[in-house]
Amino acid sequence: MRIVLFAFFLLISFYSCRNKSTSKEKQAETVPSDTIRVIQSDKVSELTSLNRTIMSVLKNKRYDSLSFFIHPAECLRFSPYGYVDTLNDVVLTDLKLIAEMGKKKQDIIRWGEYDGTGDPIKMTLNEYMQRFVYDVDFLNPEKMSINEFLGAGNSQNNILAMYPGCDFTDSHFSGFEEKYDGMDWRSLRLVFKKIDNKYFLIGIVHDEWTI
């Protein structure tokens, strides 16, 4: 009789645990999906707002204000084309950026190489910003996306490989003059890395048609 009762209680315990487990699994299936939607919505809203703020800074040529957004450890890398070149791209700290912008006569910096010719891109910080950062009105783009590429040329786009786990915005124009048939498109991508619930700017990648 005791054996029967013991088996009975074991059976009840088994089904009780199984029901609890099933209940938890159902909760895990439903709650995270809602949570993910909220997180994604918050991310899009935050990155959209941050993108617009930085574009406003660039449009108004308040370049030293970028220092407030620069990643404290990884700093800010500038890429003149879609290919992120970790060997030749210029990386500036927030202090270096402020110091350079404060000079009456800025230093000539080598920023990489021109597409097609391979000639060195030698410009001051201010000159580079006007040619390879904010060369068109990216504050009011034709399209803007989060973590989605809107333009593509012949050069390799390696943002995902060079900035794993990061987020980026893409402000894009498909072209300006009909005679160029879209070959005068432009994109400016801002790459962000999150630390302690705050996004920091770690990359500015300018992209356009390349040979």
pLDDT attached to residue 3: 47
pLDDT attached to residue 30: 54
What integer best gives the mean pLDDT of the chain? Answer: 86
Q: ∠135-168-71 over CA atoms, to 5°?
A: 90
Q: Is 111 exposed, middle or buried (0-12, 13-18, 19+ CB in 10 A)?
A: buried
Transcribe 13-30 into DSSP letters. Answer: HHHHHHHHHHHHHHHHHH
pLDDT attached to residue 151: 76
Candidates 155, 161, 159; CA nearest to 185 is 155
211 vs 143 pLDDT, higher one: 143
User: 63 by DSSP, 3-state: which?
Assistant: helix
Identify the residue whose tokens are 């009909």.
178
Total-model pTM:
0.81
pLDDT attached to residue 11: 43
Torsion 136-200-95-85 (CA) sign: negative
The pLDDT confidence band at residue 10, using thresholds 50, 70 and 90, is: very low
Beta-carbon contacts of residue 59 (< 8 Å; ≥ 6 apart):
134, 137, 138, 139
pLDDT single digits (tens) 150-183: 977 677 899 999 999 999 999 999 999 999 898 9
The pLDDT confidence band at residue 14, using thresholds 50, 70 and 90, is: very low
Give the CATH number of domain 33-208. 3.10.450.50
C-alpha 3/C-alpha 191 separation (Å) is 67
Please state the rounded mean pLDDT for residues 100-119: 94
Start-to-end C-alpha separation, the chain = 88
C-alpha 188/C-alpha 171 separation (Å) is 5
Beta-carbon contacts of residue 116 (< 8 Å; ≥ 6 apart):
210, 211
Could you tell me if 135 and 187 are in contact, meaning their C-beta atoms sit under 8 angstroms apart? no
C-alpha 32/C-alpha 204 separation (Å) is 33
pLDDT attached to residue 37: 55
pLDDT single digits (tens) 37-67: 555 778 999 999 999 999 999 999 999 999 9
Q: What is the CA radius of gyration of the chain?
A: 25
Candidates 187, 189, 140, 143; CA nearest to 166 is 189
C-alpha 101/C-alpha 104 separation (Å) is 8
